[in-house]
């Protein structure tokens, strides 16, 4: 998969992409990341990417010309057919795991990192294919949101993780939160690992984990249960959890 980032602060990405899953995926050729400096597409002497809004008001607005030119140059260079041009903005659709799996089906994601007061509306109307947000809050710019999106999409690519099972066991993979995890020592400051995890009984461990992830979701994010696809076993467990049966 190819990621293209359009930003006025390309340097902020250096550390994030130099380690961990993204770095390994780059080295294995599983992903490509190309970063474009938006100012390179400005033709005035000051490389001005923004201007005052028509009608007055505070702040500055990204001009349409450099962003259109940057996206069109990337499209011409890459020649990918299955792509999305995404504006990262608090006005966008909320990014969730289902959206991540959908985005992972593309061959190329072009990410426009907004800044300042916003962007010229003609960019939304005539250039991008969608607008995404990572949460109901305002960031200083779209760069952090782009990092989040690239990290989460990369995790879905086969061979990007050490074990394929890791993705299936992540929170939100099936619209549910994860179950509790424990490791050595078996006893720490008097707090012991649940005995079932030490039993070696794989069926009991499976049932314990399933019950705990459902309990965890019910306690912390009950809204997720309404959209999750639950099998009959999970439905029975949820009935017990709601009744307070231990």
Catalytic status, residue 90: yes
Active site residue: 65, 117, 169, 178, which one? 117
Distance in angstroms (rounded) separating the CA atoms of residues 39 and 62: 11
3-state secondary structure of 23: helix
155 catalytic residue (yes or no): yes
**Going by C-beta distance under 8 Å and a sequence separation of 6 or more, which residues neighbour residue 122?**
64
Q: For residues 158 and 130, what is the distance between their CA atoms, to the nearest angstrom?
A: 25
Query: Exactly one of 99, 131, 169, 170 is catalytic; which is it?
Result: 170
Q: Which two tokens stand for residue 233?
A: 């076993």
Confirm if 48 and 62 have CB atoms less than 8 A apart: no
Q: Hey, is 34 helix, strand or coil?
A: strand
Selecting among 10, 53, 64, 90, the annotated active-site residue is 90
What distance in Å separates the CA atoms of residue 164 and residue 132, rounded to the nearest whole number? 27
| 170 assigned to active site | yes
CA atoms of 199 and 172, how far apart (whole Å):
28
Establish whether 232 is a catalytic residue: no
Gap between the Cα atoms of 26 and 22, Å rounded:
6
Catalytic residue among 155, 175, 211, 215: 155
| Residues involved in catalysis | 90, 117, 155, 170
């Amino acid at each position: 998969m190819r990621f293209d980032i359009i930003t006025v602060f390309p340097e902020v990405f250096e550390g994030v992409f130099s380690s961990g899953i993204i770095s390994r995926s780059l080295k294995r050729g599983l992903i490509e990341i190309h970063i474009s400096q938006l100012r390179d597409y400005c033709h005035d002497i000051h490389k001005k990417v923004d201007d005052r809004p028509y009608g007055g008001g505070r702040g500055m607005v990204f001009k349409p010309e450099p962003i259109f030119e940057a996206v069109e140059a990337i499209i011409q260079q890459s020649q990918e057919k299955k792509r999305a041009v995404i504006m990262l903005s608090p006005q966008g659709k909320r990014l969730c795991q289902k959206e991540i799996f959908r985005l992972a089906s593309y061959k190329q994601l072009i990410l426009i990192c907004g800044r300042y007061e916003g962007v010229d509306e003609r960019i939304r109307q005539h250039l991008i294919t969608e607008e995404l947000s990572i949460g109901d809050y305002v960031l200083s710019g779209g760069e952090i949101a782009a990092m989040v999106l690239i990290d989460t999409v990369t995790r879905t690519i086969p061979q990007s993780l050490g074990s394929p099972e890791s993705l299936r066991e992540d929170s939100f993979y099936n619209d549910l939160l994860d179950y509790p995890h424990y490791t050595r020592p078996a006893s720490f400051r008097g707090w012991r690992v649940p005995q079932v995890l030490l039993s070696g009984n794989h069926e009991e461990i499976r049932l314990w984990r399933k019950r705990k992830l459902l309990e965890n979701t019910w306690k912390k994010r009950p809204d997720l249960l309404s959209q999750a696809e639950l099998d009959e076993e999970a439905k029975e467990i949820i009935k017990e959890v709601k009744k307070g049966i231990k």
